[in-house]
Every structure is written in C-alpha cells, then in structure tokens.
Structure 1
C-alpha cells in the first residue's frame, strides 16, 4: 500500500518541489513558470516560513506542494501578520486524487497550531471554498487583486485562545516577489 506523508519542506526537497511546480504550471510559451521563480525568490526572503512550506510525499516521491508565506495587513499606522497561500501544485500524474486538498489542509492545520489568524489566497473559489475561504473584500481586506472579485479570498483561522481580537482588516501587503506573478 502506498502511503501519503504530509510534512514541511526540507532543504533536500528543493529540486523535487521545483519539478512539481514546473510540471503543474507548465505552459508552452514559458521556459520557467512564474510560480517556480516566485517560490525560489520567497525562499530567499523574510516572508519564508519553513514550517509552512508543505509537501505531499506519496510513495516516497514529492508530488504535492502548498506554500504559506508571511504578508501583513496594514490599516492606518498599524500592521498585523497574516499568511498568503500559494502556489499550490500537484504533479500532473498524481492530480485529481485529493493530494492538493490534503497538502493545503495540512498547512492550514499547521498555521492554526502556530497561532496564525488569517490566510489570503487568489484562486478558484470553487476549490478554496472547501477549506472555508470566502471573498476577502467582504472581510475588509484589499490587495492589488481586489478588483478580481471572487478569486480574492480569505480564511479566518480558529483562535488559539479565547478572547483573541478579531482578524485584521485593511490592505494586504505582499512581499516584492509577488509583484512578478
């Protein structure tokens, strides 16, 4: 029986993660998909959270990936930490068997355990709704992608303690590598 293992990315996984991203986002007009470069640039920056770069290992092979990186929500002169989800990728030969869902769920659980409160994503609403994401603009969150409507989404994670303040509202500020996607 083939086993699925969900875990944070390790330094030795970099090449396998790159291959999964390149295969999942391959386009005939681009040698290296922007999602590959995004992960590589985020990996070298302050937004990188190694415990939230999740891989799906199936039968000893890395076949799935979900990245959660640091963003901040800025309102007036205050900022609050949040997470951006993406990219999410599954190797084409292992798609449509639930690996993407599994690796995202593992990342959301890890983020909750770490006390994170808010995750934003730009993606297919039908897919991300299964995790509880909904329109970010209706939660008072803006970004360069706010004008896209439904694909701009957010998820409030359960509080780690009672009495935590409400999740932040304001402009979500992404690290510079995101501007290239």
Structure 2
C-alpha cells in the first residue's frame, strides 16, 4: 500500500481526469466499453449527490481514485428509511490492488458515521466488500427493488440501533438509470482517448479476478501481457486448457494479475465484436 495517498474532496479541476480514470477503471468490465464515467458526471449534477462524504484519492499530485455517495432509501409499505449508497468506486486500473480503494472506503465510512447516516447499502463485488465489513442484505431483511436477494446486495451498518429498524426494498437514486443513454455515452467517449471495445464469450470480466490483456511477446514459458500501459510477465495457469491454442503474440487473453510477479494466463479468448 502507498503511504503517500491523499484523500480529499473533489474540486472542479479534477472533474475531467476523474471521469477519464473512471472510464479506464470500468472499461469492458461489465460489457463492451462502459457508462460509469457518464454516471460520475450525472451524479455531480444530481440532488441526491452527497458531496460531503464523497472523496478522491491523490498520489504524487495525480488523482488515481474516486468514490461517489448518493442518497438512497429502503421502502417497506408506506415507511421509508433513509440510507446511503456509493458507486462508482473507481481506481486507476494500473494501480489497482495497491490499497487505494481501501483508503477511500475507510475514510468515507468514517465520514458517513460522523455525519449520522444509519447505514450503507450497495450492489458490489461479493469477493471484495465482505473483507471490508459488508454483509449480505438478507441479514437485515433488505431486498432489491424487485424483492430479491443475491450475494452482491450488501450493507454496512453505521449506527446499529438505527439500522436494525431498516427493512424493505432498496431504492437507488434515479440518477443510476439516467446514464444508460447510448447517444450520451458515445458523446462523452469522444472527449477521451479511444479504447478498444471487447465482448467475450465468458461474459463480463471480473474486477478482482481476471483481466483482459494482449500478448506482446513470448520467451519460452514466459508471456509478456500488455495491460493498459503495463507489460506484465505471466505464465500459463495450471488450469489453462491444454487443448486450446497456446497463446501467441497478438492474442487476447484473460489473466490473473498478481503483484508478487506470479501472474497467470487462464485462457485465450476471442473478441466477439470482431465476428
């Protein structure tokens, strides 16, 4: 973890760079391209934006992460319980797994407690957030807007006395649906560098597990994988399908990025948008 991360409020001078890093952080994760950078822009304009607890992370004078909080509610019949949610939580992809996201979470959770909010409800990565103290919403009788529960629907009580009375259906701010307009997304994309869009057979790429890269060189059993601006050495995973074609220069691959230098290629994949 970096020791010189500065967590602070976002200022207007950060807006464009934060949208760019958010675009990079979510690019091709849930499907071709992404819309999270548009969501960031719309959240800033929303009446539900909680600027008092939203923060950016700065490293060596550059913004490398951001977290945005908005008002939300849990509805049970005629009763409405105020809660908060966050998203996106974005970290520059070449700096992920280095403690930036954790620093943003810890700082803003403390700010939310001090501000007197009852609890946080999110839809997030179930392999990550439980490590930060989040639990599944079924433990508190909270469902999504359709009345369903799943592992990604999680919560973090900030005031247990208040949050114990929160039950019902979780309703996000309407701003989350306002960012699905294709024309708006394309217009915003034009403001930033052009990146390749990818759709793979396995579905979306997992944020924590697998990343999408391109083989740029091969030296015996060591492959150099291009991931954004990085060149990451990797070997074939023990789970790699030996019946498939051995990766060659130019191939798209899924790989597990390990900071200890033991990154592993799990499969060769095809960009279905090329077909």
Q: Shared topology, TM-score over 0.5?
A: yes
* C-alpha distance in 2 between matches for 1:61 and 1:90: 12
Contact conserved, 1:146 with 1:152, CA < 8 A, in 2? no
Contact conserved, 2:119 with 2:163, CA < 8 A, in 1? no
Identify which of 130, 146, 171 aligns with 2:169.
Answer: 171
Residue 108 of structure 1 pairs with residue 98 of structure 2: no
* Per-residue CA distance 1:83-130 (angstroms, 9 max, x = gap): 112111110121111101111111111111101111011112221012
* C-alpha distance in 1 between matches for 2:101 and 2:168: 29
Cα offset, 1:144, TM superposition: 3.6
Residue 88 of structure 1 pairs with residue 89 of structure 2: yes
The equivalent of 1:156 in structure 2 is 157
> Larger helix proportion, structure 1 or 2?
1
- 98 and 2 in structure 1: CA distance in 2 versus 1, 3 angstrom threshold: closer
- 165 and 65 in structure 1: CA distance in 2 versus 1, 3 angstrom threshold: closer
Contact conserved, 1:145 with 1:152, CA < 8 A, in 2? no
Q: Which runs of 5+ in 2 are unaligned?
A: 181-275
Q: TM-score, normalised by structure 2?
A: 0.59
Cα offset, 1:164, TM superposition: 4.9
* Per-residue CA distance 1:148-171 (angstroms, 9 max, x = gap): 611110110146xxx657341111
Contact conserved, 1:122 with 1:153, CA < 8 A, in 2? yes
Of structures 1 and 2, the one scoring higher in RCO (CA 8 A, sep 6+) is 1
Contact conserved, 1:49 with 1:68, CA < 8 A, in 2? yes
* C-alpha distance in 1 between matches for 2:146 and 2:95: 30
What is the root-mean-square deviation of aligned Cα atoms in Å? Answer: 2.2
Contact conserved, 1:83 with 1:120, CA < 8 A, in 2? yes
Figure out how many residues of one structure are paired with residues of the other and give that number: 176
Q: Which runs of 5+ in 1 are unaligned?
A: none
**Structure 2 counterpart SS, 1:126:** coil
Q: TM-score, normalised by structure 1?
A: 0.87
